[in-house]
Amino acid sequence: MDRINALRKRITSVDISKMKRAQERLDALTKPRGSLGKLEEIAKLIVGITGKENPVLEKKIIFTFAADHGVVKEGVSAFPQAVTGQMVYNFLSGGAGINVLARHAGARVVVADLGVASDLKPDKRLIIKKVNYGTKNMSEGQAMTRDEALRSIEAGIEIFEEEFSRGSGIPPEAGKHGVDIVGIGEMGIGNTTAASAITASFTNMPPAQLTGRGTGLSDKELENKIRVIEKALAVNKPDAKDPIDVLAKVGGFEIGGLVGVILAACARKVPVVIDGFISSSAALIAYCLEPKTKEYMIAAHASVENGHIFALNHIGLKPIFDLELRLGEGTGAALAMGIIDASLKIMTEMATFKSAQVSEEAQ
């Protein structure tokens, strides 16, 4: 916990003065003030996060973390647990949805095993930071120990830091690094159950309102999933005032890893694009650990999973778009990166009234 607390202390608020200057620049462009809506807000936020007046987001990374969940024994998923490991191989071969959309966005996908229930084949493209072989069945007791929860967060911190300094040959403090913006995604059969339980813990909303169909459950299966989450909350009584307790009792190793990525990225002044429901449950934990992380988060989209909007509302984030996505993996984050790039190009490439010799609006 000492390492996590030290990192939290390094997270400072975004640069408001630079955001004001960015707004002045946006107002001087050849358009009615505020006419590009969220694009202007995003560009201004990126300036505030990075502290750069002309930020360029060349080095994009999507962190896709995988882990299994013991709660699948309760029939909460339409897919068998083996799919988690199989999908990791699909990520590595470049055939998954996140691979396609990351290529489209010019982003690199970093795949890590935080807790897959089997030993995966060694691959130089796969980072192995396995905390355990999946969590325990949270409907019968804690999903993991508190130590495992902390280790999962620390694993995420380590993975981010390794990528931040990757290829530079010099310490990150020197200013050259390998990450300009990150997106967070995941893979783990059963993890919408964990995300629902985490969200219910922090928002105090009933599981019936937060729980969705995940991989495509029938009405009967959805009712069972809700009962399982209700039982897990009753058995474990996660303490919302202690985010690590919530993670340990009803979370997942991949979720903990994403918490670590968020904390580490914020400490390095790197924007974090939040994908769907599971990623937002990690964002909830990070926010409750350190509220200033909210200033660095950009919500990509509104998932069709019921609990997603409640998680975003609790943090105070508004999604950029709604395409009725529910895949996860970081796919929504990859799509949002293109919009974020567009916002910066508007700010840095569009002519001003003065440079274009266009008359401004009457005062």
Query: Which candidate, 319, 360, 318, places its Cα nearest to that of 33?
Result: 360
Q: Establish whether 329 is a catalytic residue.
A: yes
Q: Which residue has 């019968």 as its token pair? A: 140
Q: Which of 329, 349, 360, 361 is catalytic?
A: 329
Which candidate, 217, 198, 275, places its Cα nearest to that of 79?
A: 217
Cβ-based neighbours of 281, under 8 Å, separated by 6 or more = 194, 195, 198, 199, 251, 255, 307, 311
Within 13 A of 267's CA, how many CA atoms are on the CB side? Answer: 23
Distance CA 246, CA 197 (A): 9
Question: Phi and psi for 46 in degrees, rounded to 5?
Answer: -60, -40
Angle formed at CA 261 by CA 117 and CA 276, multiple of 5 degrees:
75
Q: For residue 276, give the nearest of 185, 181, 182, 197 by alpha carbon.
A: 185
Contact 265, 296 (CB under 8 A): yes
In what helix (H) or strand (E) does residue 101 lie, and over which residues does it extend? Answer: helix 97-105
Cite the active site residues.
329
